[in-house]
């Protein structure tokens, strides 16, 4: 029966009626409410419930006092683990039950889904009324203490009877709550259940073999099992019988006896059955004492080593198959029925490194020694080089990873990372990675913030980290090769002068600041300062000086860090005078160093052993640091001597013989060396003369002793010491000589105040004090000379001593002339002797051998074209040692370098006599210098300075007499001029006034070169006399007088100009070759502004410009090889500037002539091909701007000058950028009215303008426009007309199918063009020909194709 149901139209009454009916009719509802069964657990499987109880009671319950009474649990009953073995037995018995379950589906669902049922069942809010509120219990320790299972035995002895508990439970029982950091509250019993994690399913099969059993765990690969087995065996073998028995007993006690019994029976039955992990132990204990814990730890080791693989899975997604896995998956394992291979991938062995990677780019990885590991190097994982995530199969660490490690919380990792970084940086600086890596390491690490990292590590509280950080700082800042080279150079002539090793930026800034007195400058952030200038940043921003002092005074580290600190300080002192001064003024830093490392007395130690602690011993490195500071300025040297009384300390060391100093011999020698050097620096400042008088007897004794010694390479130490001594004496002589001058001057002025500023106790050194030195030194020199003369060709020996001896002699004779009481006759005799001896020496085979080495040791002639060592811009280095990457020093620094020796000899000869010009070896050396086309990268190297000095003396000597080789010398002078470095300005001035503009040099070449040239020009001009254009204008004929005229004036202003040029870039330590051009342009531009005001140029300017141009032209045709180093583009643009310099400057006849000559020079094909206006031109932002200026100038003031026009035309060649052409044909097409250059007079070959054909549609449009609008006409601009006709014609007839509409349009316009000439030219143009009218040949008749094209267009018009 169907119930009536309410409908939408029903009223309320209807509804009430329905209800009444329904209620009265007792109709059963379609849906009924039923109460849900209660707790499913209670009613469901009794078997399971039982088992829960059973296992639950079997579990060990751990109770800890003091914990809250009830831990909130998520599920009422914790998930229970049963013994699998037991479960399987139960499963059999339960089989029948499950059939019953099938009949009640709800029941079944509930039984399977207990958790949902539990949640869906009553949710009762916890009654918190009676619950106590506890304060959070404070704990003594943050974490529970770690318990070691191995200690079990000692603890369990008391509770033997309960020993069936698990090991963990026993341990918990034995440990007090306090051990876990729990504070026990009274009256609160706390219980918590901790389940021992015996869930490891070991499916173990046993093999019987000589009483021992190999257990095959299904989680472990076969190999691993075997390994464990052998380890077990070996451990067994190492144990005594009692040990084994006691361990066995211990195991038995902990295990369930039932289990033991079961396992025993099982073993007896030889059943291969599933067993528990406990059973494994059970079986094992017969022979093995390997505990499962050990097994677990083994596995974990394996895990660690293969952790990387997991990450690798992300990167290259290997198809992980079951075979790859180190374990076989058993089907009985829980939740392993579906093997999730990718989750197990981490267990796999590492794949072999891929060899193909070694070809492609990949981040470099380094081992702990700082070597780059090649991509395919296969190293064992046990080296510890694989602990990183990226590229797990590759050994080693990237820089990034090392940076990360160095911030690790683990001290050892930090140390290791820093040490590795230090080694890498050292190797990088040595240039070991040049061929291995793409980019330099040093700039990268510095950019990455290495310095901040170092500061952080320097502040670390762990000393080992500090030491490592110091090592890294040392590696970054100090270039050991540089330091060694500077030490070597110190004894060379001119080697005492130190160059500030600070970046260019700093110098410029310093200049700016001195100029404008720090006008509210925006403070740079630390990072910016560091980026600009590393050392300045370290000193001013990172306060490294107090930090280092803290180490020295408070931490007092071992020897290596101390040496590192001293070396770093030395480098800081080298940076600049400012930093050296800051170093000086750092409170108590110098005091500490002097006190600790320059003691007056120290205990004798075992000299054969290396010293581990340097405190209380004299340290040569400390003296070296002080010497470097002293080198930075006289004031600082004076402070060191007066305030810290360094010199008196050093005298203690110097007064002793090396063998009497209680130090190792090498240390003692270097200590004395450094002491001598420090003294020499002081003496050159005029300080420390008193000590000379005090020490005079000792010094004389040393000198006489040196005569008796056999000084050769075998006794290098003695040799070096004697060299240092002689250098000190030379400095003394200098002081004594100048002191006299000073005294005589002051006495002449009759002023006693002069002396008052000198310390009263300082006895002025007089010449008589040093006169006695001459004899022993000369004797020593004679001996050295004989050795060189007789032996040098056979046996090379060190020339350092000879060098300093000659220097001494030179200084001595130079000054002795000026002394008041000098016996001139005797002096002359001596000089004569010396010079004859010198000439004898010069002719000897030995000296010839020395001369012949000169080319070989030249920095400039070196074959190595690149320096390999890395350096960073903000940390300038002298890049001394490393030319070839194999650690060969620079040629000039190689052993037996003759450079200093010859320099000294030359300077001696220069002071005595000029003898030796025309010497074959010297000339060939210069010849090589001059003929070298390739610019050596070492030209700007600091150490080339010494070679420059040598060349300077050669050239200067050659000035003294006329000879045949003046050309070579002059060219060498030009070369040298471009190479001279900052600080050698006086040489430049001297060279300019004596050599470069010396007519003696110029005249020579004039006669042969210029007469020839003059002849050439004569023929040229005679050919072209019928042409009126200025391009063919005769270049002013050269006469000797003319050259002199143009060469002398430059001398006057050149002498002041070069300095102004220098002031533009003093930071660049050498002059640029294009100095001439710079000066030319600078001068013209600045004067050009003035000139603009006047309608005519001042005669002075005309004179100046014409002289400059004359000089340039001379160089251009006379020393072309020399100018080859300057790009042609640069030269052309600079000459173009002349047009901008004045409104009628170029109209001056002389200037016009030179400009024409230069144009002819530059339009030679070899130059034209090299022109590239896209390239970077120094001094110009871009060529386009300059060109626009030139065009405007041409429009405004040129008077249609055809020379100017020719210059304008140069950049219009097809190979240059089309934007230049566009400027002429578009915006500045007024030019076309006045650009009258006949086709025949074009200097650039016509084809350069016509080929390749123009493809740029925009330009074609412009050409067409200009042609049709008559802007370009053959009468006004023949060349331009030809160019336009050529390109438009070619474009019109090109059959490439593109721009058809435009072509059509052009032809259409052309046909309607009223100008018949243009029509004819455009239609019938054949090719360019300078001789034909309008410069073009025309077709008599159009080809059929073209005719057809024309007609088709014409037809389409109609």
Partner 1 sequence: MNAPPTFESFLLFEGENKITIEKDTKVPNAALFTVNKEDHTLGNMITTQLLKDPQVVFAGYKNPHPLEHKFVVRIQTTSDYNPKDAMTNAITDLISEVSLLEERFKEAVKEKQEGE
Inter-CA distances, 645 with 386, 545, 598, Å: 55, 22, 11
Q: Please tell me whether residue 1197 binds partner 1 under the rule CB under 8 A.
A: yes
Closest contact distance (angstroms) between CB of 1216 and partner 1 is 25
Cβ within 8 Å of residue 618, ≥6 positions away: 597, 598, 599, 602, 653, 661, 663, 671
Query: What is residue 1176's three-state secondary structure?
Result: coil
Cβ within 8 Å of residue 47, ≥6 positions away: 90, 93, 94, 97
CA angle 1047, 1052, 1053 (to 5 degrees): 105
Judged by beta carbon, residue 712 or residue 1195, the one nearer partner 1 is 1195
Tokens for 656?
A: 């002793």
Q: Please tell me whether residue 151 binds partner 1 under the rule CB under 8 A.
A: no
Judged by beta carbon, residue 318 or residue 1200, the one nearer partner 1 is 1200
Judged by beta carbon, residue 357 or residue 1195, the one nearer partner 1 is 1195
Count Cβ atoms below 10 Å from residue 83 Cβ, excluding itself.
19
Closest contact distance (angstroms) between CB of 1236 and partner 1 is 8
Phi, psi of 996, rounded to the nearest 5 degrees: -60, -45
Tokens for 631?
A: 């080198």
- C-beta separation of 978 from 1073 below 8 A: yes
Closest contact distance (angstroms) between CB of 1141 and partner 1 is 14
Query: What is residue 757's three-state secondary structure?
Result: coil
Judged by beta carbon, residue 198 or residue 1233, the one nearer partner 1 is 1233
DSSP structure string for 283-341: HHTTT----HHHHHHHHHHHHHHTHHHHHHHHHH-----TTTSSSPPPTTSTT-SS--H
Q: Please tell me whether residue 559 binds partner 1 under the rule CB under 8 A.
A: no
Closest contact distance (angstroms) between CB of 1146 and partner 1 is 10
Judged by beta carbon, residue 855 or residue 1198, the one nearer partner 1 is 1198
Judged by beta carbon, residue 74 or residue 1275, the one nearer partner 1 is 1275
Q: What residues from 407 to 426 belong to the interface with partner 1 (CB under 8 A)? A: none
Phi, psi of 216, rounded to the nearest 5 degrees: -105, 100
Written in H, E and C, the secondary structure of 1106-1143 is HHHHHHHHHHHHHCHHHHCCCCHHHHHHHHHHHHHHCC
Q: Please tell me whether residue 1198 binds partner 1 under the rule CB under 8 A.
A: yes
Q: What residues from 1134 to 1193 belong to the interface with partner 1 (CB under 8 A)? A: 1143-1144, 1147-1148
Closest contact distance (angstroms) between CB of 1231 and partner 1 is 9
Residue span binding partner 1 (CB under 8 A) among the ranges 3-11, 508-516, 972-980, 1093-1101: 1093-1101
- C-beta separation of 736 from 766 below 8 A: yes
Instruction: Single out the residue of 1228, 1225, 1133, 1223 nearest to residue 1181, CA to CA.
Output: 1133
Tokens for 946?
A: 């010494």
Closest contact distance (angstroms) between CB of 1086 and partner 1 is 16
Closest contact distance (angstroms) between CB of 1113 and partner 1 is 21
Q: What residues from 960 to 989 belong to the interface with partner 1 (CB under 8 A)? A: none
Q: Please tell me whether residue 1099 binds partner 1 under the rule CB under 8 A.
A: no
Q: Please tell me whether residue 1133 binds partner 1 under the rule CB under 8 A.
A: no
Closest contact distance (angstroms) between CB of 1092 and partner 1 is 6
User: Given the structure tokens 């399987």, which residue do they identify?
Assistant: 88
CA dihedral 946, 950, 955, 957 (to 10 degrees): 140
For residues 965 and 565, give the distance between their C-alpha atoms in angstroms, rounded to a whole number.
Answer: 54
Residue span binding partner 1 (CB under 8 A) among the ranges 364-372, 373-381, 777-785, 1227-1235: 1227-1235
Residue 1070 per-residue DSSP state: B
In the list 408, 741, 1230, 1327, the residue contacting partner 1 (rule: CB under 8 A) is 1230
Judged by beta carbon, residue 234 or residue 1270, the one nearer partner 1 is 1270
Closest contact distance (angstroms) between CB of 1352 and partner 1 is 38
Q: Please tell me whether residue 1106 binds partner 1 under the rule CB under 8 A.
A: no
Closest contact distance (angstroms) between CB of 1284 and partner 1 is 18
Q: What is the largest CA-CA distance in the chain?
A: 160
Distance of alpha carbon 1104 from its chain centroid, rounded? Answer: 46
Q: What residues from 1235 to 1254 belong to the interface with partner 1 (CB under 8 A)? A: 1236
Residue span binding partner 1 (CB under 8 A) among the ranges 422-430, 555-563, 645-653, 1230-1238: 1230-1238
Q: Please tell me whether residue 576 binds partner 1 under the rule CB under 8 A.
A: no
Closest contact distance (angstroms) between CB of 1268 and partner 1 is 17
Residue 551 per-residue DSSP state: I
Residue span binding partner 1 (CB under 8 A) among the ranges 148-156, 166-174, 470-478, 1231-1239: 1231-1239
Closest contact distance (angstroms) between CB of 1029 and partner 1 is 14
Closest contact distance (angstroms) between CB of 1201 and partner 1 is 8
Q: Please tell me whether residue 1095 binds partner 1 under the rule CB under 8 A.
A: yes
Judged by beta carbon, residue 887 or residue 1200, the one nearer partner 1 is 1200
Q: Please tell me whether residue 1234 binds partner 1 under the rule CB under 8 A.
A: yes
In the list 896, 1233, 1261, 1308, the residue contacting partner 1 (rule: CB under 8 A) is 1233
Closest contact distance (angstroms) between CB of 1140 and partner 1 is 12
Strands 365-366, 205-209: pairing is unpaired
Q: Please tell me whether residue 1092 binds partner 1 under the rule CB under 8 A.
A: yes
Distance of alpha carbon 461 from its chain centroid, rounded? Answer: 30
Q: Please tell me whether residue 1103 binds partner 1 under the rule CB under 8 A.
A: no
Residue span binding partner 1 (CB under 8 A) among the ranges 13-21, 371-379, 408-416, 1091-1099: 1091-1099
Distance of alpha carbon 1349 from its chain centroid, rounded? Answer: 65
How many residues bind partner 1, per CB under 8 A?
Answer: 18
Cβ burial, residue 1291 (10 Å; 0-12/13-18/19+):
buried
Q: Please tell me whether residue 1196 binds partner 1 under the rule CB under 8 A.
A: yes
For residues 855 and 657, give the distance between their C-alpha atoms in angstroms, rounded to a whole number.
Answer: 40
For residues 496 and 897, give the distance between their C-alpha atoms in angstroms, rounded to a whole number.
Answer: 18
Tokens for 1066?
A: 């003093």
Number of alpha helices (DSSP H) and beta strands (DSSP E) in the chain: 65, 6
Closest contact distance (angstroms) between CB of 1101 and partner 1 is 15
For residues 1128 and 1131, give the distance between their C-alpha atoms in angstroms, rounded to a whole number.
Answer: 5
Residues binding partner 1 (CB under 8 A): 1092-1093, 1095-1096, 1143-1144, 1147-1148, 1195-1200, 1230, 1233-1234, 1236
């Amino acid at each position: 029966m169907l119930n009536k149901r309410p409908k939408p139209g029903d009223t309320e009454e209807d509804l009430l009626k329905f209800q009444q009916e329904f209620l009265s009719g007792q109709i059963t509802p379609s849906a009924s409410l039923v109460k849900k069964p209660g707790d499913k657990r209670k009613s469901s499987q009794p078997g399971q419930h039982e088992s829960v109880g059973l296992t639950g009671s079997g579990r060990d319950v751990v109770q800890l006092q003091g914990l809250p009474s009830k831990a909130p649990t998520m599920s009422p009953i914790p998930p229970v683990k049963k013994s699998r073995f037991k479960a399987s037995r139960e499963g059999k018995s339960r089989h029948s039950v499950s059939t019953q379950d099938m009949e009640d589906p709800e029941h079944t669902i509930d039984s399977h889904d207990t958790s949902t049922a539990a949640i869906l069942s009553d949710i009762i809010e916890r009654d918190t009324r009676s619950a106590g509120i506890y304060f959070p219990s404070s704990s003594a320790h943050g974490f529970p203490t770690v318990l070691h299972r191995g200690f079990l035995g000692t603890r369990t002895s008391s509770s033997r009877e309960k020993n069936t508990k698990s090991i963990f439970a026993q341990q918990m029982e034995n440990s007090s709550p306090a051990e876990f950091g729990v504070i026990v509250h009274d009256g609160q019993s706390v219980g918590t259940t901790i389940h021992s994690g015996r869930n490891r399913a070991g499916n173990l099969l046993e093999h019987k073999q000589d009483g021992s059993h190999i257990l095959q765990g299904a989680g472990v690969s076969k190999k691993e099992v075997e390994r464990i087995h052998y380890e077990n065996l070996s451990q067994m073998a190492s144990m005594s019988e009692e040990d084994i028995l006691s361990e066995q007993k211990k195991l038995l006690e902990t295990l369930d006896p039932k289990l033991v019994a079961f396992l025993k029976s099982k073993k007896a039955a030889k059943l291969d059955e599933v067993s528990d992990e406990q059973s494994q132990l059970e079986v094992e204990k017969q022979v093995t004492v390997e505990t499962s814990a050990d097994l677990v730890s083994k596995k974990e080791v394996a895990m660690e080593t293969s952790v990387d693989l997991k990450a690798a899975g992300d990167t290259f997604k290997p198809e992980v198959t079951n075979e790859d896995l180190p374990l076989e998956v058993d089907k009985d394992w829980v939740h392993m029925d579906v093997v999730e291979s990718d989750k197990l991938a981490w267990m796999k062995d590492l794949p072999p490194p891929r060899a193909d990677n070694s070809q492609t780019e990949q981040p470099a990885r380094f081992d702990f020694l700082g070597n780059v590991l090649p991509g395919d190097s296969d190293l064992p994982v046990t080296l510890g080089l694989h602990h990183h995530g990226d590229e797990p199969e590759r050994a080693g660490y990237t820089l990034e990873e090392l940076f990360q490690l160095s911030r690790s919380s683990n001290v050892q990792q930090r140390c290791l990372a820093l040490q590795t970084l230090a080694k890498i940086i050292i190797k990088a600086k040595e240039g070991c990675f040049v061929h291995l890596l793409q980019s330099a390491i040093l700039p990268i690490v510095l950019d990455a913030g290495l310095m901040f990292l170092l500061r952080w590590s320097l502040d670390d509280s762990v000393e080992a980290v500090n030491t490592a950080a110091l090592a890294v700082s040392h590696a970054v800042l100090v270039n050991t090769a540089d330091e060694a080279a500077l030490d070597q150079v110190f004894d060379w002539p001119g080697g005492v002068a130190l160059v500030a090793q600070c970046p260019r930026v700093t110098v410029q800034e310093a200049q700016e600041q001195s100029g404008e007195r720090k006008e509210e400058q925006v403070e740079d952030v630390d990072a910016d300062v560091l980026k600009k200038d590393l050392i300045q940043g370290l000193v001013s921003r990172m306060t490294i000086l107090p930090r280092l002092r803290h180490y020295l005074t408070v931490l007092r580290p071992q020897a290596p860090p101390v040496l590192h600190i001293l070396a770093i300080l030395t480098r800081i002192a080298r940076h600049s005078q400012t930093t050296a001064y800051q170093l000086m003024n750092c409170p108590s830093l110098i005091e500490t160093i002097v006190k600790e490392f320059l003691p007056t007395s120290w205990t004798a130690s075992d000299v054969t052993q290396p010293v581990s602690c340097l405190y209380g011993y004299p340290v040569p490195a400390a003296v070296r640091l002080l010497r470097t500071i002293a080198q930075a300025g006289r004031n600082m040297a004076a402070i060191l001597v007066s305030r810290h009384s360094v010199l008196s300390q050093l005298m203690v060391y110097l007064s002793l013989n090396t063998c009497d100093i209680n130090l190792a011999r090498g240390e003692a020698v270097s200590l004395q060396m450094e002491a001598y050097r420090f003294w020499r620096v002081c003496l050159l400042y005029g300080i420390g003369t008193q000590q000379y008088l005090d020490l005079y007897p000792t010094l004389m004794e040393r000198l006489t002793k040196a005569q008796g010694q056999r000084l050769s390479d075998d006794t290098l130490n003695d040799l070096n010491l004697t060299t240092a001594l002689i250098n000190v004496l030379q400095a003394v002589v200098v002081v004594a000589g100048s002191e006299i001058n000073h005294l005589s001057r002051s006495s002449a002025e009759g002023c006693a105040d002069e002396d008052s500023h000198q310390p009263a106790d300082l006895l002025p050194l007089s010449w008589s004090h040093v006169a006695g030195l001459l004899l022993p030194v000369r004797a020593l020199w004679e001996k050295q000379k004989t050795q060189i003369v007789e032996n040098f060709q056979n046996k090379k020996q060190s020339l350092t001593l000879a060098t300093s001896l000659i220097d001494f002699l030179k200084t001595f004779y130079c000054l002795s002339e000026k002394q008041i009481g000098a016996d001139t006759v005797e002096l002359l005799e001596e000089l004569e002797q010396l010079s004859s001896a010198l000439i004898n020496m010069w002719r000897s085979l030995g000296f010839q051998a020395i001369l012949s080495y000169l080319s070989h040791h030249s920095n400039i002639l070196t074959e190595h074209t690149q320096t390999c060592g890395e350096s960073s811009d903000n940390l300038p280095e002298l890049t001394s040692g490393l030319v070839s990457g194999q650690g060969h020093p620079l040629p000039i620094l190689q052993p037996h370098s003759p450079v200093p020796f010859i320099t000294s000899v030359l300077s001696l000869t220069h002071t005595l006599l000029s003898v030796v010009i025309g010497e074959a070896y010297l000339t060939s050396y210069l010849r090589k210098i001059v003929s070298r086309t390739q610019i050596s990268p070492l030209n700007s190297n600091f150490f080339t300075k010494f070679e420059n000095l040598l060349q300077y003396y050669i050239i200067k000597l050659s000035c003294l007499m006329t000879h045949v080789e003046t050309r070579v010398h002059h060219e060498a002078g030009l070369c040298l001029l471009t190479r001279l470095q900052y600080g050698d300005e006086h040489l430049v001035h001297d060279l300019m006034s004596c050599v470069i503009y010396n007519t003696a040099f110029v005249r020579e070449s004039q006669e042969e070169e210029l007469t020839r040239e003059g002849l050439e020009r004569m023929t040229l001009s005679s050919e072209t006399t019928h042409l009126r254009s200025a391009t063919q204008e005769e270049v002013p004929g050269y006469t000797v007088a003319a050259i002199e005229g143009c060469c002398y004036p430059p001398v006057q202003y050149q002498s002041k100009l070069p300095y102004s040029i220098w002031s533009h870039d003093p930071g660049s330590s050498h002059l640029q070759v294009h100095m001439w051009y710079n000066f030319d342009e600078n001068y013209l531009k600045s004067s050009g502004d003035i000139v603009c005001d006047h309608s005519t140029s001042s005669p002075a300017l005309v004179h100046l410009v014409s002289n400059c141009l004359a000089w340039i032209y001379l160089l251009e045709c006379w020393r072309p090889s020399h100018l080859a180093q300057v790009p042609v583009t640069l030269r052309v643009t600079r000459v173009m500037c002349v047009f901008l310099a004045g409104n009628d400057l170029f109209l001056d006849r002389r200037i016009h002539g030179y400009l024409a000559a230069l144009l002819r020079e530059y339009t030679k094909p070899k130059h034209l091909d090299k022109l590239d206006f896209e390239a970077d031109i120094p001094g110009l932002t871009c060529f386009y701007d300059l060109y626009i200026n030139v065009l405007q100038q041409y429009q405004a003031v040129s008077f249609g000058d055809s020379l100017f026009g020719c210059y304008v035309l140069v950049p219009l060649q097809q190979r240059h950028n089309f934007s230049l052409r566009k400027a002429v044909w578009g915006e500045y097409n007024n030019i076309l009215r006045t650009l009258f250059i006949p086709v025949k007079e074009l200097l650039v070959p016509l084809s350069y303008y016509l080929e390749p054909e123009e493809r740029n549609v925009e330009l074609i449009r412009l050409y067409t426009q200009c042609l049709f609008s008559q802007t370009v006409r053959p009468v006004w601009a023949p060349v331009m007309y030809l160019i336009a006709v050529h390109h438009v014609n070619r474009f019109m007839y090109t059959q490439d199918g593109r721009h058809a509409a435009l072509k059509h349009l052009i032809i259409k316009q052309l046909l309607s063009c009223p100008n018949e000439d243009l029509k004819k030219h455009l239609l019938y143009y054949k090719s360019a020909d300078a001789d034909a009218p309008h410069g073009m040949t025309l077709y008599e008749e159009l080809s059929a194709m073209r005719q057809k094209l024309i007609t088709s267009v014409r037809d389409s018009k109609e």
